[in-house]
Structure 1
Amino acid sequence: MKARYQYRFYPTDQQQQSLAQLFGCVRVVWNDALAICKQKELLPSNNDLQKLVITQAKKTVEREWLSVVSNIPLQQSVADLGVAYKNYFDSLKGKRKGKKVGKPKFKKKTNQQSARFRIGGFSIKGHEVYLTKIGNVKPIWSRDLPSGFTSFDSTETAKTRTCSPSSPTSVTVIKDCANRYFLSFVVEIDPVCIDAKNQSIGIDLGIKTFAVMSNGEKAESPDYSRLDKRIRKLQKKLASLPKDTKRRNRTRIKIAKLHNQITDTRKDFLHKLSTKVVSENQAIVLEDLNVSGMVKNRKLSRAISLQGWREFRTLCEGKSEKLNRDFHVISRWEPTSQICSECGYKWGKLDLKIRSVQCLNCRTEHDRDENAAKNINKVGIGHCHDSKRTQREGKTGTPAHLSEVSRITEASAR
């Protein structure tokens, strides 16, 4: 399986200028190739596009500065455009799973910038990574890079790292909107076998309480409200500033830095939680959530978008593959919050304000989220109660409301 390893680095002033030229050339080649594709009825091949936007463009006065940077990232930019169009057409034909992929768009100077170096355009020696026509950069090796690469102590002398057959075949240089620089490697790793403490676990995702486990554990979501309020305030200020001004650019960078703080906080929380869940359980069961439909609720859309439910699912799925775990996702139509996890009695839909309810059949008191997590676990491992038989034995009731005190033991906002 493939895994991504990303490291931050701090380029010198000269390297920043060289990287700015590289990002600009990669962006121009992408935009020129995309403009040609939109004019043609049939999509040109990558070789034809490279001849038009790189080889022939370098001979013109308008694009002669493309020769200043390495040719490898320029060729890779055209190849990435071909992959983007392939994903778009596969999505239209239904060959690609997940959300529909839109058409490739033109790249902007103010968005995240990136350039990819293949073999021949970079090398790893000692603590440093050499990039063609950029020079040696020193990333912060926060963790070991697989494939024979080892970490170094500050007291050690520089050693040469020789690339093995499974070494990284490419490296992507990234500059985000807050002017931070990263090196991103994608390497092939082997799955690891680690014994799990528990057989299986079901997880119910929420807003205030991010995750409620079937074993009774809860994971509280970090508080993003303070940073989110500052972002909304600065966004209002940004809307009133004239374009192409220094003040607007400074405000834009401030907003980007606040977004990065939220992203880093969320990513740290999700990584730690997913690692804990996957390492302790052999089978992980989640519920398929219709997030795109849920964000249409204007009152909850911003809070839902900040949680990162999809990112958590992706992390759990990837780490499950790495540790040889079983990962299951049950249907979103399973009535996990409408069925008693003890006897299987179905009491119907519950108002969102209802957080605790007592079963009419077995008289067991349930926390709403914990009961749903237990049902998710049972459906995921294939040991669900026969709810139809239980309904025939018990009395079928109507959905509970806040006025029914005998059935609802606690009502509060989630």
Structure 2
Amino acid sequence: MLKAYKYRLVPNRAQREYFAKTFGSVRFLYNQMLADRKAHYELYKHDKKLLYAIKLRTYTSFKQEFPFLREPDNLALANAKLDLDAAYQTFYKHGAGFPVFKSKHHSKASYKTNNQKGSIRILNNRIKLPKIGFVKFKHHRKFNGLIKSCTVSMTPSGNYYISVLVEQDGVPWIPAPHKIGIDLGLTDFAITTNDAGFSEKIANPKHLEKAEKKLKRAQQRLSRKKEGSKNRGKARKVVAKKHEEIANQRKDFLHKLSHKIVHENQVIVLETLSSKNMMQNRRLAKAIASVSWSEFTRQLEYKALWLGRTIIKADRWYPSSQICSACGDKGSKKPLGIRTWTCIPCGTDHDRDINASRNLLSLTL
């Protein structure tokens, strides 16, 4: 099983300079190879035989033309080439967007390198990386297994992180006692009901909304700074730190909640939501983007895979909030504004969201 562990790096000045050069070299090589592919296609697109017969330049050939590419780790450049290949495959096979050029100011600053015969290893609170040696890092989580690769990245706020990919044995399977149905919302982030009949509403922490006032002030200060000035650079970093703080709070909440649910339940039923379509509603777009339903679902899925849990996704058109969980009567359509209702055939009073979670739970039976 492959598992990634993310840590905070604490590089010194020389190491920060090396990282900056490597980020730039990887970005430059990616753009050069993308431009080379586009030019190759334009030149031979009318002759399919030549288009596939004439090979593209290898990433190593660019080192002769651009000597500065010899400074960073060679595997970082090799992985840039693989990233471009993967982008093309995703475009052709899965209909994603065509690969675009990386920007110095808008693309993520990162590079990936591989472990070859112990070129990456951990010693106490330091991690050894190719061509740079040992770098201090916050070693807050231990692991057992073989390090396969690692990805070094820098956030817009200037913080450095390393994600270490480890090959390790799977976790011993221990069955969980419950099954659970989860209805997702905006006022309450999640409404759950398990097979013991316990229902719970988990409040939406609204990290963005709570920090919006301070974020707005920071953005206003940034807009008043002169373009290219040092003060503008400082103000930009303040805004970036605010955004990073909000993102970290959101991730912390989602990880803790998904961890709890996966460890307590053997079968988890989720409703299928199309966030992209729902964000067409301008009044709700920001709230839907902030609540991160898709990220929560993603976390549940991979954590369930680790622990041998079962994830069931309800059909997209399954009317979980319209059906009476007591007698199964659908009745008339209930608009979104109706939060409580009484089933006419059986007389059961329903909370709309709890009723939906109960209906989702019934899909496990």
With normalisation by structure 1, the TM-score equals 0.79
Name the CA distance, whole Å, in 2 between partners of 1:319 and 1:59. 45
- 2:7 is matched with 7
After superposition, give the CA deviation of every residue in 1:274-320 in whole Å (9 maximum; x if it has no partner). 11111111100001101001111111111110111011101111111
> Which of 145, 156, 159 lines up with 1:180 in the alignment?
159
Moved more, 74-83 or 116-125: 116-125
Name the CA distance, whole Å, in 1 between partners of 2:159 and 2:165. 20
Shift of 1:122: 3.1
Shift of 1:237: 5.4
- 1:307 is matched with 291
Identity between Structure 1 and Structure 2 (%): 36
C-alpha change, 1:206 and 1:259, in structure 2 (3 Å) is same
**Does residue 84 of structure 1 match 2:68?**
no
**Does residue 115 of structure 1 match 2:114?**
no
Q: How many residues align?
A: 347
Q: Which amino acid aligns with 1:257?
A: K
Q: Which amino acid aligns with 1:357?
A: W
- 2:48 is matched with none
Structure of larger gyration radius:
1
* Residues 217-366 of structure 1 aligned to structure 2 (within 5 Å): 217-224=200-207, 225-235=209-219, 238=222, 243-366=227-350
C-alpha change, 1:39 and 1:203, in structure 2 (3 Å) is same
Structure 1: runs of 5 or more not aligned: 93-100, 148-166, 384-414
- 1:40 is matched with 40
> Which of 181, 187, 191 lines up with 1:212 in the alignment?
191
Name the CA distance, whole Å, in 2 between partners of 1:133 and 1:8. 19
- 1:49 is matched with 57
Q: Which amino acid aligns with 1:196?
A: A
Q: Is the 8 A contact 2:269 2:314 kept in 1?
A: yes
Q: Is the 8 A contact 1:192 1:322 kept in 2?
A: no
Q: Is the 8 A contact 1:122 1:129 kept in 2?
A: no
- 2:26 is matched with 26
C-alpha change, 1:248 and 1:89, in structure 2 (3 Å) is farther
C-alpha change, 1:363 and 1:267, in structure 2 (3 Å) is same
With normalisation by structure 2, the TM-score equals 0.89
Q: Is the 8 A contact 2:324 2:330 kept in 1?
A: yes
Shift of 1:105: 1.7
C-alpha change, 1:334 and 1:125, in structure 2 (3 Å) is closer
Q: Is the 8 A contact 1:9 1:140 kept in 2?
A: yes
> Which of 63, 75, 88 lines up with 1:58 in the alignment?
63
* 3-state SS of paired residue (2:26): helix
User: Larger relative contact order (C-alpha < 8 A, sep ≥ 6)?
Assistant: 2
C-alpha change, 1:279 and 1:125, in structure 2 (3 Å) is closer
* 3-state SS of paired residue (2:31): helix
- 1:135 is matched with 133
Name the CA distance, whole Å, in 2 between partners of 1:240 and 1:103. 36
C-alpha change, 1:72 and 1:220, in structure 2 (3 Å) is same
Shift of 1:142: 1.3
C-alpha change, 1:331 and 1:233, in structure 2 (3 Å) is farther
**Does residue 124 of structure 1 match 2:129?**
no
Name the CA distance, whole Å, in 1 between partners of 2:37 and 2:221. 38
Name the CA distance, whole Å, in 2 between partners of 1:292 and 1:44. 37
- 1:201 is matched with 180
Question: CA RMSD for the aligned pairs?
Answer: 2.1
> Which of 178, 192, 209 lines up with 2:172 in the alignment?
192
Shift of 1:242: 5.5
* Residues 144-155 of structure 1 aligned to structure 2 (within 5 Å): 144-147=142-145
Name the CA distance, whole Å, in 2 between partners of 1:44 and 1:136. 44
Shift of 1:67: 1.7
C-alpha change, 1:85 and 1:239, in structure 2 (3 Å) is farther
Shift of 1:223: 2.8
Q: Is the 8 A contact 1:9 1:183 kept in 2?
A: yes
